[in-house]
Structure 1
């Protein structure tokens, strides 16, 4: 599905379920990670997460579109468009829009190696393990304020 197909789908759903036209832009936003879609208050556009369509199918995408169109139409009518508003809850029930979208299946973990930086305090010999490098010129031991010394960098595969 491309952007043009998405725009037509949103316009069709708006007319079929809300009996009102959708006069703004519907796009896929690849930066959305934790949500199926969002309605933008200032531009009135709707952004959708394409991974929901790819992984869960058209039915899930249609549910997300209905949910976002509830925000859209209520906001334009100057009614309660937020999740907790009675107008929103009522309209969601009328059109059969889901309150939440399903969770995406887990993404496969990337095979990047993990670095572990090991430091020791020159005074009290306390060992520090960190995932990020520490500037030993700037930071000192949190226990005794002694000077830090880099011991090693461990790499796990």
Structure 2
């Protein structure tokens, strides 16, 4: 699990408002999704970080920028899928993460520092939303199908240490 150091926020996941669209099955979202417009991706993430950092105290800003940038990990490929009672997601070749489909705010794992992480799994007609929370904050990961072979991945990091949420979206195409 990603995390912001210094207690700013832990990279965990929260619920975002979703619009409804065409009915999508698990099979539609399952599989490998490749990043689109990779050339402009870093600029999008830098802008998201700067939007949050500019509202911080001048002295904190210099410390916060590198910490926030660490949270804006670029996944060249997402692999999504379901196994029996679990939803699984994987960024590039990182370790596969999974969450019980029945997760509704229950602690389901601990991070590398032993901090409890609770999670909520939500499935809509066109998206999967994971909600992970710890004492450090929230992270919302939303994988939303926006076309036959298009996926919009949106992240929202929230913490009492941040003046505003850190939010960004990236587009993916099915492999």
Q: Name the TM-score, length of structure 1 as normaliser.
A: 0.26
Q: What's the TM-score once normalised by structure 2's chain length? A: 0.24
Q: Which is higher, the Rg of structure 1 or of structure 2?
A: 1
* Higher strand proportion: 2
